[in-house]
Every structure is written in C-alpha cells, then in structure tokens.
Amino acid sequence: MAPATVICIGMAGSGKTTFMQRLNSHLHTKKQPPYVINLDPAVLKVPFSCNIDIRDSVKYKKVMENYNLGPNGAIVTSLNLFSTKIDQVISLVEKRSDTFNHCIVDTPGQIECFIWSASGSIITEAFASTFPTVIAYIIDTPRSSSPTTFISNMLYACSILYKTKLPMIVVFNKTDVRDAEFAKEWMTDFEAFQDALRSNAELSEETSNGSGYMASLVNSMSLMLEEFYSTLDVVSCSAYTGAGFDDFLDAVDSKVEEYNDFYQKERESILKQKEETEIKKKQKNLNHLMKDLGLKETKSANTESEGVDVLSDLSDDDNDDENTAEGYEHGLVEPDINEPDREYTFQDDRNGEITDANNEALQNIYQSAFEKTAKTASSSVADDIAKYIRQSQG
C-alpha cells in the first residue's frame, strides 16, 4: 500500500513548522517514523530532521543576490529551481516507500508563493499522481475568533481545495490558547454564526463607526460556504501540547480512502482527457502545417483511422494490394493531374519476374535495344558493352 502524503499549508504564523515537529514526534512514539520533506528555502532552522531539504539543493540568499530579488520572489524562484528536479524527489520517496506509512511535507509560510505558483502546482501534482495526497490547512485558532477573520480563512481554504482538487483537512491549531469549539459551531450552525456576526458588527460600529457593509458581505459568504463545509474534515489540536494528533491521523486515513474512491478516479479521467486533447491538438497542428505547405488533407474511406499522422502510417494497412492501388488516395502528396498514363511493357506480368518462359524473350528485347543504340555510340564503347552482355549471358 502506497504511503499517504500530507502537505501542510497555512498562513504565516499559523504554526505549520511546529505542527510538523509535533506530528513527526507523535509518529515516532507510535513506532511509525514518517518521511519528512522541507520545502521552505528561507527558514534558518527546523525543529525536526529532514529526509529531503530544499536548502540542500537551493541557496536562498544566493538566489536573492544572483537574480536581484526580494524575499517572496526568491522563495518562488527557489521553488521553481527545485521543481525541475521533482522527478528525482519522487523517485527517492518511492524507493523508501516500503519503510514508512506517512510522508509529511512542510511548505513556505508565504502561502501564495506555494499555492498560486507554477512550481507549487508541479510539486503537488507530482505527489498526487504517485501517492494518496491530503492537504492539511493549518489555521491559527485564536486569530480566527473574529467572524470576519474566520470567513477569510474559510474562503482561503475553499480556494485551495478547488485549486489543488485534493482531499482537505482543516486543522484548528493552538487550541491550548483557545478552544476551537466556537469555530466548529460556526461551521455547523448558521444561526450561531449570525449571532456572533451581529454582536461583532455592533461592537465594530461603536468603536469605528462602521457602515455595516462588511457584515453584509460576510453574511452572504457564510451562506455560500455551507456546502463547502460539508466536504471537510475538521480537527482541533495543539502543536504545543500534542493534543488531538490521534484524531488528525484518523482524519488522514479517512481522506486516503476518499482519495482512492473518488479523487484518484477523477484525476485519471482528467489525465486521460488531457491526453486526448493533446492528440487532437497535434492533429490540428499537422493539418495546419499541411495547409500551409499546400497539401490537401485526405481521409481514407476503407480504414478506421480518421487521418494520417505520420508517413509510416501509410504502410500499416493489412492489405498491401489495396495500399498499392490506392496509394495516391491515402498519401500526403497527390499525383500531377497533367501527367500522362503510364504504359507497362508486360501487361500480363506487372511484377517483371524473370522466369524460364520469358527469359529468352527478355534477352532478345535487350539485344535489340542494344543494337539500335550501339549504332550511334563509338565502336570502342559498343565493343565493351557487347562483351559485357556476352559475359552476363553465359
């Protein structure tokens, strides 16, 4: 069974790295050490040992100096450079896949540098096409106590879900500071969220003379997100105390089954559709090329194929005789319409095979043709040709 890959994503300061460290320790205590990958090139120290570390391949400060980039641009460029070798990373993980049950991946704190970049999509797709992959979206629970901040986090989670098209677990971290029951209630009870939003709006108007526009927008967003909440697994945990990590691992197992039942089939369908689209695109480009070269696109009436992609396809017919007779119909180049009809010397024997029956007649024809042409040639050349013919005859 392929190991589950958990990609930890979250806002800066949400506690992703600490969550990774606690998850790593928790799996070690269960005698199930994971395979650990760090994709944050800008971090100075990580509180866990890594099997694969992007810092071993890409030097973040050198990228800033060489490309004259700022912090975020250097992170994106470092991920771009690392993603060019993602096939080697997947190969390394596959070789060790029989020694672990979980592969956990830490991502940069600048969430947009990973999620909305091409390199982030390449890395995520590479893992998801090889292993059952789950997204763990880490949320800072104390900072989400405001309804507006809570809705912002949920909208971000929704966008990540539809961007990656992978199973997602929403992890309310830092429950040692504040319990996450209020957030779970807001996700399941619309009226409770409305009450919290109303009280927060009244407080906002008293302190900042707000117009109430934000409350109206958040109210609409909460109605829209009800369907989104039903597809999520929600877990509350504390990376500081280690509480809730058994629940998180149970949620990972549940999402792996969901991946195998639904997401994998959908991904295979998407890949098949992409392959068919590429084939059609290549055929369209070939047709445009033929048109630009002044060649006529033709289709065979006696074959199942819709067209000829390459020249070698012309000789793949089972019936060679039909291929010969209809060669011009199937070919890429049509004959000149002004060309006269060909005349064959041997009407009864198109193949021109030399047998005992026609050998003597054929030699007489050659001899007659030679005598006609030899009269106009020099005597020395004629003697050489005559000598060559006598030697060949016998």
pLDDT for the residue 227: 80
- Residue 360 covered by a domain: no
176 in a structural domain: yes
Give the pLDDT of the chain (394 residues) as one tens digit per residue: 789 999 999 998 899 999 999 999 999 999 999 999 999 999 988 999 999 999 999 999 999 999 999 999 999 999 999 999 999 999 999 999 999 999 999 999 888 889 999 999 999 999 998 899 999 999 999 999 888 889 999 999 999 998 988 999 999 999 999 999 999 999 988 888 888 888 876 655 544 444 567 777 887 888 888 888 888 899 999 999 999 999 999 999 999 988 888 877 777 777 788 888 889 888 888 888 887 777 655 444 444 444 444 434 444 444 444 444 444 443 333 444 444 444 434 444 444 444 555 566 666 776 776 666 655 555 555 566 666 666 666 5
> What integer pLDDT is reported at residue 6 of this predicted model?
96
Provide the pLDDT for residue 89.
93
- Secondary structure of residue 138 in the 3-state scheme: strand
The Cα 275–Cα 90 span in angstroms is 22
pTM exceeding 0.85: no
The answer to the question of residue 340 being in a domain is no
Has residue 89 been placed in a domain? yes
The reply to whether 196 falls in a domain is: no
Residue 295 pLDDT: 67
- What pLDDT is recorded for position 277? 87
Half-sphere exposure of 282 (CA within 13 A, CB side): 9
What is the structure's pLDDT at 296? 58
What domain count does the chain have? Answer: 1
Cβ of 22: how many Cβ atoms within 10 Å? 24
Report the distance separating Cα 107 and Cα 7, nearest Å: 7
Residue 319 lies in a domain: no
Contact 235, 171 (CB under 8 A): yes
| Domain enclosing residue 158, as ranges | 4-180+232-254
* Model pLDDT, residue 101: 94
Q: Which residue has the tokens 């010397």?
A: 345
Question: For residue 83, is it within any domain?
Answer: yes
- CATH code at 94? 3.40.50.300
Cα–Cα dist 188/195, whole Å: 13
Contact present, 235 and 251 (Cβ < 8 Å): yes
Q: What pLDDT is stored for residue 330 in this prediction? A: 39
Name residue 126's amino acid. A
Q: Determine, yes or no, domain membership for 372.
A: no
